[in-house]
Chains A and B, each alone.
Chain A
Amino acid sequence: MLDTAAIEVENVSITFDGVRALDRCTLRVEKGESLGIIGPNGSGKTTLLNVINGYYRPEDGRVMIFGRRIDGLPPHRISRMGVGRVFQVTNVFKNMTVLENIMAQGVWMKERKNLRSRALEIMDLVGLPRNLKDELAGNVSGGQQKLVDIARALLPQPEILMLDEPVAGIHPIIKEKIIEVVDRLRRDGKTLMVVSHDIPSILRMVDRLAFMNAGSILMVGDPDEVRRSSKVVEAYLGV
């Protein structure tokens, strides 16, 4: 019997106002694998994540999580299946406290009592000082907001986590922290998809690298191999 992958994207296409954002895109992410996605702006990286998280319904093709078909399910259902998401633009509930931000992810969880202590543990895990817990999330620094965002996504211990530009525009110290957290998740056997333009950082977070251009995956493989490929250099740098 074939082992099911964590994420399978098969021939997925989607069009926005005549622009083909994903064009028969196919990708397979194994359980416990950390896959990086690089590619020029507008190549469809974020769209691909949005399709997997359920924000867009593909026009064509199918998406499976652990062998279960999910395209067409609403985002909250996919989230409850254990697929977390950290957005490119740092996304926090600005008028809620840091702790409430993290706990919001647990609204639907069965576990009733330990939510608060779990949220505090996750704050420690991502390196958010506990004295920030009662601050409004909109008032903490940009880097800390990113940590809040990641902590929120981690609360239900998702098996799969999608990170869109987790380190872009982040202060070096917090950036280092984020890379450490992602690397730890990888070593814990979580399945990760990381989108980034920051090549040195992404190499520290992933096992394999995929290169995307014009809505499809052109190449997947060992990070060094992908980076040196002439196809990638040509599409990325335009030479």
Chain B
Amino acid sequence: MKAGAILAAVAVAILLSIPIIAAGNNFVITLGFIFSVYIILALAWNIVGGYTGMLNLGHAAFFGVGAYTLALSTGAGIHPYIGVMAGGLAAVGLGLLMSPLLRLRGDYFAIGTLSLAEAIKVAVLNIHAYGIRVTSYEGLGRVENYYFVSAVLVAVGATTYLLQRSRLKLALVSIRENEVLANASGINPLKYRVIALLLSGVFTGIAGGIYGYNLLYIPAEHVFSIEWTIIPLFMVLIGGRGTLTGPLIGSFIYLGIYYVLQFTLTEISLLAFGLVVVLIIKFMPQGVIETLFIRTLRIKRVSII
């Protein structure tokens, strides 16, 4: 436990010192910003996809709705960071709208959420074919946005950490493992799934908002793109579902391989990248954490709560 606390402190220190080390190097700050956004998405997707085991393919809708809400609020003269939080709230609204889908099982849920996200994307594209402009705010630039996104990252990390130790996790995982038995244990599956979806949505919406504000221009095609679902999904699958460390490590592996291949193989990098991801999932279906740490290194598993 001590080691975990030290690690978390070091991670937060690194996160906060990046703009100081970068000293005005926009590339580094932007990279840090993007990385943080992806990790937030992975941790948020993990709450539904990992703990409850429901394959949410509509995650991008939360992100897009967050970004759009931010743009609309700044257009109405609202402070951008309040607009970002409003994006989180809008995502919660969307989550409530999506919650009837939580009655669907397995593939049906995946198809349902995917369809809903695509439908929202098409609807928005019909209104704003070229996207929407964000009104920028004096004094809130890349560095401030970076700190904002770091705070969100710490918040979603802390939430996952607390979730790990909570009865909520027991409820979510037991529903994932065996719904009939969870029911016999007095657990109402739908209620807990809704809680998970809303938690996942709020962080994703906020991430979408701050991402949108950092872009200052929001192409609907881009913020509602399925990549905001698929990339976090891969990160979680690589690292290991339903854990805190899984999505974190998965994100670093994913982004690491992605950028290394980009710089070395350039044109064929995506091809090679796809191959690497497939191999990882083929040989470590439970994720890197389970395979490397628990099976190979025989680190002892403990009951968490």
Contact = CB atoms under 8 A, between A and B. Distances in A.
The answer to whether A and B assemble together is yes
B303 A133 contact: yes
B216 interface: no
Contact of B301 (A75, A115, A116, A134): A134
A99 interface: yes
Most A CB contacts (10 A, CB to CB) among B167, B177, B186, B305 go to B186
Nearest to A109: B186
Interface residues of B, number: 23
Given A76-B186, A104-B185, A107-B167, A55 B177 contact: no
A80 B180 CA distance: 15
B18 interface: no
B303 A74 contact: no
A99 B303 contact: yes
Given A93-B177, A104-B174, A79 B186 contact: yes
Given A91-B180, A93-B178, A134-B301, A80 B186 contact: yes
A3 B187 CA distance: 31
B182 interface: yes
Contacts of A98: 303
A55 B180 contact: yes
Interface string A90-127: 01111111111001111111000001100000000000
B184 A93 contact: no
A12 B187 CA distance: 26
A116 B177 contact: no
Interface string A29-55: 000000000000000000000000101
B174 A134 contact: no
A5 interface: no
A116 B305 contact: yes
A91 B305 CA distance: 21
A115 B167 CA distance: 10
B103 to A, nearest CB: 13
A212 to B, nearest CB: 22
B173 A53 contact: no
A134 B303 contact: yes
Contacts of A106: 167
A156 interface: yes
Nearest to A50: B180
A218 interface: no
A46 to B, nearest CB: 13
Contacts of A80: 186
B244 to A, nearest CB: 16
B170 interface: yes
B186 A87 contact: no
Interface string B189-214: 10000000000000000000000000
A74 B174 contact: no
Contacts of A85: 184
A62 interface: no
B23 interface: no
Nearest to B242: A95
A91 B181 contact: yes
B268 interface: no
Given A97-B303, A100-B303, A105 B180 contact: no
A74 B188 contact: yes
B300 interface: yes
A136 interface: yes
Given A97-B301, A134-B302, A107 B183 contact: no
A10 to B, nearest CB: 23
B233 to A, nearest CB: 19
Nearest to B173: A96
B304 interface: yes
B184 A75 contact: yes
Nearest to A106: B167
A100 B185 contact: no
B298 to A, nearest CB: 13
Contact of A108 (B177, B187, B300, B303): B187
A208 interface: no
9 contacts: A55-B180, A74-B183, A79-B186, A87-B181, A91-B178, A91-B181, A92-B181, A94-B177, A100-B303
Interface of B: 167, 170-171, 173-174, 177-178, 180-189, 300-305
Given A92-B181, A104-B170, A106-B167, 9 more contacts: A75-B180, A76-B183, A79-B184, A79-B186, A80-B186, A87-B184, A91-B178, A94-B178, A136-B301
Q: Which 3 A-B pairs have the closest CB atoms?
A: A93-B177, A79-B186, A99-B303
